[in-house]
Amino acid sequence: MIAEVKRRSPSRGDIRIDLDPAALAVAYAAGGACAISVLTEPHHFAGSPADLLAVRAAVELPVLRKDFVTTAYQVWEARAWGADAVLLIVAALEPAELRALLDETAEAGLDALVEVHTVAEAEVAAAAGASLVGVNARDLATLQVDPGRFADVRRALPGGTVLVAESGIRDRAEVQAAGDAGADAVLVGETLVRADDPTKAVRDLLASPDRRNEMNRQRASAAPQPIPAEQ
């Protein structure tokens, strides 16, 4: 799981404007997240470089700078802030620009999560040589989530591509569905940011069926037992 630090979004409005990015990242790490995504875009997501810097100082996990990255300067800027990867959105780039930014991220020693929404965009990502691709289930025009989009789009990507399912993941069943459809990872934001206990929320989303059964047994054994009625 890539767990996201996000204050607001265009589709949902304010989520948690006053969040503590460092504390949230530490909670995600404790729950078992493998990486942290941090919004640095200020206008639509209320993000900032300060959020990424705070997360970088708080955890040792890989950190993704999530923003509208369209220039080489932003790639090196992300590296200077301590990011390990940047988001490159195919819909915001011409194919030649995508290829150039992939080269730039490699030169900077960063990874690139290349985000696609459609089969056509997936074909562009594949042609550019993207090896880490996020399939976003949210329609950019309507902002609605299509649960079947991942399975449709992934077929356009070559074998060996590391696939991340993005948007609309709210519970363990949806994580499992993404895995069954071929996802290697999920990126989760709003569900975790809104959670009263982000650590538990991460653990619950990542729990295997066997682990969930064990957790249920532990809860049952810890519950107060009824007092037998006197005969």
State the amino acid at position 140 in one-letter form. Answer: L
pLDDT at 216: 45
Sign of the torsion angle spanned by Cα atoms 193, 195, 197, 202: negative
What gap in Å lies between CA 38 and CA 59, rounded to an integer?
12
What is the separation of C-alpha 128 from the centre of its chain, rounded to a whole number of angstroms?
22
pLDDT at 142: 76
pLDDT at 153: 94
Q: Mean pLDDT check: name the lowest of 66-80, 84-98, 137-151.
A: 137-151
Coil vs helix vs strand at 169: coil
Write out the H or E segment, with its range, that includes residue 164.
strand 162-166
Which candidate, 64, 112, 121, places its Cα nearest to that of 94? 121
> Could you count the other beta carbons within 10 Å of the beta carbon of residue 49?
18
What gap in Å lies between CA 160 and CA 173, rounded to an integer?
25
pLDDT at 127: 97
| Under 8 Å between Cβ of 133 and 116 | yes
pTM score, two decimals? 0.86
pLDDT at 221: 54
| CATH pick for 2-222 out of 3.20.20.70, 3.30.930.10, 2.40.160.20, 3.30.70.20 | 3.20.20.70
Phi, psi (rounded to 5 degrees) for 8: -155, 170
| Under 8 Å between Cβ of 195 and 27 | no
Averaged pLDDT score across all residues of the chain: 90
Tokens 């329609």 correspond to: 139
- Summarised one tens digit per residue, pLDDT across range 172-230 is 999 999 999 999 999 999 999 999 999 999 999 998 554 444 444 554 555 444 444 44
Residues tagged active-site = 4, 6, 66, 115, 136, 166-167
Mean pLDDT of 90-104: 98
Q: Mean pLDDT check: name the lowest of 7-16, 39-48, 197-206.
A: 7-16
Q: Mean pLDDT check: name the lowest of 20-29, 159-168, 198-207, 220-229.
A: 220-229
pLDDT at 140: 76
pLDDT at 141: 74
pLDDT at 222: 53
Q: Mean pLDDT check: name the lowest of 65-79, 83-97, 130-144.
A: 130-144
What does the domain layout of the chain look like in residue ranges?
2-222
What gap in Å lies between CA 126 and CA 157, rounded to an integer?
6
Between 150 and 144, whose confidence is greater? 150
Q: Residue 34 pLDDT more than 60? A: yes
